[in-house]
Amino acid sequence: MSLDARLPLFPVTASVIAGPAGAELAIGGLSLRALAEQFGTPLYIYDQATMDDAVAAYRRSLAAHYAGESGITLAGKAFLCVAAAQWAQRQNLWLDCTGRGELHIAAAAQVERARILVHGVNKSAADLAAAVRQAGVIVVDNLTEITRLADLLDAAPPDARPDLWLRVRPGVAVDTHAYRQTGQEDSKFGMDAGEITQAVRLCLLRGLPLTGLHFHQGSHFHDPAPIGPALERVLDLAEEVQSETGWLPAALCPGGGWGVAYHEDDLPQPSIDEYVAFIAAYLTEGCRQRGLPLPRLQLEPGRSLVARAGVAVYAVGAVKRTPQRRWLLIDGGLADNPRPALYGARYSALPVRLPARPPVDRASLAGPYCESGDILIEELPLPNLTPGELIAIPASGAYHLSMGSNYNGALRPAVVWLHRGEAHLIQRREELDDLIARDIALP
Ligand code: PLP
């Protein structure tokens, strides 16, 4: 039955409750129908309990498997707004910001400097200046950036200088879509072994606060095995650099990227413990073999903290049949979730009303935008849904809204945060005037 098969894709608080017209889907005890009536559709919902659970799973695993100091950074690129940054701060997470835009959001949420880590390939002068002003750690992507940073750091007060970590390109990617791989030899991200050695020398020469190494091999993978050879290379590099320069990284970050289940075929949910245990064991053994002290292990997950917490609720506008398909035309799509169009991401869904209804046949969910690729779901077994009904797509919390657009004048959806049985609006729905707020009419 699709309800039992699909409910584990939804937030941990998902349930079926009694509604005025029969059973209906609820998150955190709150009816999705009632939330859609109150806030409109398309509507994004984040369930804090699910995010808290994911953090607790990371913490438990780090405590169980790693003897050194450790920490967790939320990769803000997965989903960032003031409320998400506040949640990260309250959970004692660090926050990864890419560029001054995300730093601005972190500042609005009053995230402490010590918890802000800045990423970015080709950071602009404004990005670097903001990072030096606001961050606790800057992850340096390339040699040119070091020279620019050295000048900025020389001018910064000595007690307000962020630490620098170097981004290594390990030459090994994880098994994921090519557009989500970042660790391979020809990736645009990071530095190779020779450049890292040069970077360390440059930092030491300029007296820069260099404290760590970082690598990230890609996003949304289910097999941690490729992290092993990457860690070996990074530890070999650390050993070489130490013998040449005397410098040793106090912190090491193998990035994030652990996957989640988007479709019932992906279940059970990938185990956070399996991922953390793999890294911890490899790192511990690698350090032991080389006689290196255990570095601070900083993990940097995005998707595995926030994806499952998010649910997108859409209204079916029309139902259309072609000889090949049943189309459910819904009121959102490509503009709030570009992932299916970008990398063929595969999703599942449940009707909000009577979610246990058995499927009648397959249906495809398409959005209202002028692109044939605006299809969120292809050929999913679903019951009959009629215009006006609501449909909920699970695992919608990561890389939807942060990659969304105003294509075709789409208004970005409202976002609601659920916590302890209450719903808080954390982002209002865009209004028509938002679409022209930056425009200047010709004279
Ligand atoms: N760290 C870095 C440097 C990244 O580029 C990304 C994603 O692209 C992440 C962490 C987070 O990846 P995920 O959200 O898949 O955990």
Question: Terminus-to-terminus CA distance in the chain, angstroms?
Answer: 62
Return the bridge partners of 330, or none.
Answer: 316
Centre of ligand 1 from the C-alpha of residue 169, in Å: 14
Identity of the amino acid at 178: A
309 CB-near residues (< 8 Å, 6+ apart): 11, 46, 47, 48, 50, 51, 54, 397
Q: Which atom of ligand 1 is nearest to the CA of 259?
A: 15
Closest CA to 413 of 344, 347, 330: 330
Rounded distance between C-alpha atoms, residue 262 and residue 276, angstroms: 21
Does ligand 1 have an atom closer than 6 angstroms to the CB of 41? no
Q: How far, in Å, from the CA of 333 to the mean position of ligand 1?
A: 23
Q: What is the pLDDT of residue 159?
A: 85
302 in contact with ligand 1, CB cutoff 6 A: yes
Question: Element (H or E) spanning 311, and its range?
Answer: strand 310-321
Q: What is the pTM of this model?
A: 0.96
- Give the tokens for residue 78: 């997965």
Instruction: Identify whether the C-beta of residue 45 lies closer than 8 Å to the C-beta of residue 395.
Output: no
What's the pLDDT score for residue 4?
95
φ/ψ of 361, rounded to 5, equals: -165, -170
* Helix or strand (DSSP H, E) at 391: strand 390-393
Helix (H) or strand (E) holding 340: helix 339-343
What is the pLDDT at residue 186?
78
Give the DSSP letter string of 47-107: EHHHHHHHHHHHHHHHHHH--S-EEEEEETTTS--HHHHHHHHHTT-EEEEEHHHHHHHHH
Alpha carbon distance 288, 286 (integer Å): 5
User: Is 73 a pocket residue for ligand 1 (Cβ < 6 Å)?
Assistant: no
CA distances for 145 relative to 152, 158, 183, 210, 347, angstroms: 11, 20, 19, 14, 39
Pocket of ligand 1 contains residue 98 by CB under 6 Å: no
Confidence (pLDDT) at 2: 87
Q: Check pocket membership of 255 for ligand 1, CB cut-off 6 A.
A: yes
Residue identifier of the C-alpha nearest atom 5 of ligand 1? 216
Catalytic residue at 370? yes
CA distance 273 to 310: 21
- How close is the Cα of 189 to the center of ligand 1, in Å? 12
Q: What is the residue with the minimal CA distance to atom 8 of ligand 1?
A: 219
Pocket of ligand 1 contains residue 257 by CB under 6 Å: yes
**Residue 216 and residue 214: Cα distance in Å, rounded?**
7
**Does ligand 1 lie within 6 Å of residue 169's CB atom?**
no
Q: At residue 414, what is the residue type?
A: A
Q: How far apart are CA 235 and CA 228, in angstroms?
A: 11
Give every residue of the chain whose pLDDT is below 50, as ranges: none
Ligand 1, from 93, 179, 216: best to mutate by most atoms within 8 Å of Cβ? Answer: 216
pLDDT at residue number 278:
98
The confidence score (pLDDT) of residue 1 equals 62
78 Cα to the center of ligand 1, angstroms: 8
Q: How far is residue 340 CA from its own chain's centroid?
A: 16
Instruction: Compute the distance between CA of residue 263 and CA of residue 393 in angstroms, rounded to an integer.
Output: 10
Query: Which residue has a Cα nearest atom 1 of ligand 1?
Result: 255
* Whole-number Å distance between alpha carbons of 309 and 307: 5
Report which ligand 1 atom has the smallest distance to the Cα of 73.
10
Report how far Cα 368 is from the mean position of its chain's Cα atoms. Answer: 26
Q: Ligand 1 mean position to 218 CA, how many Å?
A: 7
Ligand 1 atom with minimal separation from the 300 CA = 10
Label the pairing between strands 210-214 and 163-167: parallel
Dist. CA 305 → ligand 1 center (Å): 11
For residue 26, the CA-to-ligand 1 centroid distance in Å is 30
pLDDT at 187: 83
The number of the ligand 1 atom at minimal distance from the alpha carbon of 182 is 5
Ligand 1 atom with the smallest distance to the CA of 301 is: 16
> Could you give the CA distance from residue 9 to residue 12 in angstroms, rounded to a whole number?
9
Separation of alpha carbons 84 and 112, rounded Å: 14
Q: pLDDT for 286-342, tens place per residue?
A: 999 999 999 999 999 999 999 999 999 999 999 999 999 999 999 999 999 999 999
Cα(41)–Cα(35) distance, rounded to whole angstroms?
9
